[in-house]
């Protein structure tokens, strides 16, 4: 089974390892970027490089809670979280999206503030080389993390990848500013910074919006829903699939649906069809974590004023008892649109004189009884002799 981007679906344990390894690589790269930027920035007294170092430090500070949230998201379901902890990963995505928006606002503010400054720092070759190294590191991290996020189907890793891209774009702004200042066009730095701030802000809004949609139980797209329906409908015994709903939780999908089976099947056969349907959809779609199926024996009635419910077995048995129908071997009850068909089975020596007339009276007088049938059990097999 592959995902929509043709990446093979990883097992839960493999996915956890990919996320953990990628997060720790992000920590290492952010730490290296911060150290070289702050050391060189202080050495050559470059405020732009020092500011960029602070951006890398913010990345490093964000990595720690993200690692914690990623670990929590892999915990098994418990009494307080019966559906698991996958949405902690979604929560981390919201946090990163908000951080990207804050970074965008900070870059825009600082860049526009430069318009009101009278002087510009003199760039140095060391600052230029440092920016190029940092840019290569963070851009490489972006592509690596984005690739791993698609492998692991992790929105949190994807958000972290774009967070790394925001740092590389920040370094690009500093690089453009250094080069433009060398060429005598310092205003280019401000324009470039504002454009980059807009791009980072757009990334932050997109990530936050998508994560919030998941937190409010957004479902999968219509094409994926149709694929789920087709798999369920292909199970022998399933007549119809309807009222299918989905919701996403991290990389997982939860499904609930109604499947219609024959109205005269035994409970055990209906349950067996249900088991086959559950297994089929989980085998076809490994990212489906939980499926809840409601077994219907008939089409659901339109959403109008509900009809009075036909009674359950105790009331029906009491009705038969009051009408003199006693001593039968078995009673099967079939419901259809809140009316019942009663099937009674008796042993060969059971006296049933007058029962047919009583059945006719019951059908005429009781509105929720459509028909009553009577059959004789031909033979009884002792199961212990098999």
By percentage, how much of the chain surpasses pLDDT 90? 26
Convert 207-240 to b/e letters by CB count within 10 Å (16 or more is b): bbebbeebeeeebbeeeebeebbebbeebebbee
- Name beta bridge partners: 343: 332, 373
**Same domain for 164 and 18?**
yes
Q: Among 150, 185, 215, where does a domain finish?
A: 215
Domain range enclosing 344: 313-385
229 and 164 share one domain: no
Q: Which residue has the higher pLDDT, 181 or 35?
A: 35
CB 337 within 8 A of CB 307: yes
Angle between helical axes of 47-73 and 125-152 (0-180°, round to 10): 20
Inside any domain, residue 85:
yes
d(CA 278, CA 235) in angstroms, rounded, equals 10
Between CA 92 and CA 80 the distance in angstroms is 20
Closest CA to 165 of 130, 215, 200: 200
> Are 54 and 174 in a shared domain?
yes
What CATH number is associated with residue 373? 3.30.300
Q: What gap in Å lies between CA 261 and CA 276, rounded to an integer?
A: 13
Q: Given phi > 0 = left and psi -120 to 50 = alpha, else beta, which region is 153?
A: left
Binning pLDDT at 50, 70 and 90, where does residue 7 land? low
Question: Residue 346 has what pLDDT?
Answer: 93
pLDDT reading at 362 higher than 90: yes
Mean pLDDT, range 148-171, rounded to an integer? 78
Asked if residue 279 and residue 183 are part of one domain, the reply reads no
* Of residues 362 and 89, more confidently modeled: 362
Q: Which is higher by pLDDT, 196 or 359?
A: 359
Cα 9 to chain centroid, rounded: 15
Give pLDDT tens digits for 76-129.
666 666 666 666 767 777 777 787 788 778 777 876 776 676 655 555 677 778
Encode burial over 121-153: b for 16+ CB neighbours within 10 A, e otherwise.
Answer: bebbeebbebbebbbebbbebbebbbebbbbbb
> Do 69 and 149 belong to one domain?
yes
Greater pLDDT, 220 or 122? 220
Q: How far is CA 162 from each of CA 138, 141, 152, 303, rounded to the nearest angstrom? A: 10, 10, 16, 46
Highest mean pLDDT of the ranges 51-65, 81-95, 204-218, 273-287: 273-287
- CATH code where residue 247 lies: 3.30.70.1350
Please indicate, yes or no, whether residues 49 and 134 belong to a single structural domain of this protein. Answer: yes
The size of the chain, in residues, is 386
Of the three residues 165, 191, 215, the one that is the final residue of a domain is 215
49 with 145, same domain: the answer is: yes
State the pairing for strand pair 339-346/330-336: antiparallel
User: 48 and 147: one domain?
Assistant: yes
Nearest one of 4, 20, 37 to 12, comparing CA atoms: 20
pLDDT band at 2 (very low <50, low <70, confident <90, very high): very low
Say if residue 88 is in the same domain as residue 127: yes
Q: In this structure, is residue 327 part of a structural domain?
A: yes
Q: State whether 67 and 34 are in the same domain.
A: yes
Both tokens of residue 383?
Answer: 């199961």
Number of domains the chain contains: 3
Is residue 362 assigned to a domain?
yes
SS3 state of residue 253: strand
Residue 6 lies in a domain: no
Task: Check whether residue 210 and residue 330 sit in a common domain.
Answer: no
Q: Where does a domain end: 215, 250, 277?
A: 215
Give domain status of residue 198, yes or no.
yes
Rounded to 10°, the helix 87-113/47-73 angle is 170
- The CATH number assigned to the domain holding 82 equals 1.20.1510.10
Residue 246: beta bridge partners?
255
Question: Looking at the predicted structure, is the pLDDT value of residue 166 above 50?
Answer: yes
Together in a domain, 66 and 185: yes
């Amino acid at each position: 089974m592959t995902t929509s981007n043709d990446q093979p679906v990883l097992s839960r344990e493999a996915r956890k390892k990919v996320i953990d390894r990628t997060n720790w690589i992000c920590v290492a790269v952010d730490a290296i970027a911060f150290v070289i930027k702050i050391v060189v920035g202080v050495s050559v007294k470059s405020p732009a490089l020092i500011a960029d170092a602070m951006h890398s430090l913010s990345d490093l500070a964000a990595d720690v809670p993200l690692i914690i949230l990623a670990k929590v998201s892999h915990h098994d379901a418990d009494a307080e979280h019966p559906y698991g902890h996958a949405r902690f990963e979604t929560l981390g995505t919201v946090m990163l999206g908000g951080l990207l928006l804050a970074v965008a606002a900070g870059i825009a503010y600082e860049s526009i503030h430069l318009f009101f400054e009278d002087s510009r720092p003199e760039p140095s070759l060391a600052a230029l080389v440092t920016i190029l190294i940092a840019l290569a590191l963070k851009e490489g991290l972006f592509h690596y993390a984005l690739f791993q996020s698609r492998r692991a189907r992790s929105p949190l890793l994807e958000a972290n990848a774009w967070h790394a891209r925001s740092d590389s774009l920040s370094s690009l702004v500093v690089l453009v500013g250094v080069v433009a200042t060398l060429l005598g066009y310092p205003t280019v730095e401000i324009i470039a910074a504002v454009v980059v701030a807009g791009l980072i802000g757009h990334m932050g809004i997109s990530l936050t919006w998508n994560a919030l949609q998941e937190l409010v139980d957004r479902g999968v797209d219509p094409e994926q829903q149709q694929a789920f329906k087709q798999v369920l409908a292909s199970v022998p015994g399933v007549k119809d699939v309807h009222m299918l709903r989905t919701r996403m939780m991290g990389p997982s999908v939860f499904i609930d649906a109604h499947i219609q089976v024959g109205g005269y099947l035994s409970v055990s056969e209906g349950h067996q069809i249900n088991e086959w349907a559950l297994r089929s959809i989980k085998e076809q779609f490994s990212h489906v974590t939980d499926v809840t199926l409601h077994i219907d024996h008939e089409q659901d009635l339109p959403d109008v004023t509900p009809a009075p419910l036909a009674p359950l077995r105790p009331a029906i048995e009491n009705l038969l008892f009051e009408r003199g129908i006693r001593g039968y071997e078995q009673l099967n009850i079939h419901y259809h649109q809140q009316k019942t068909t009663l099937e009674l089975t008796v042993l060969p020596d059971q006296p049933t004189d007058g029962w047919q007339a009583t059945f006719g009276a019951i059908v005429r007088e009781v509105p929720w009884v459509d028909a009553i049938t009577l059959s004789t059990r031909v033979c009884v097999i002792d199961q212990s002799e098999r």
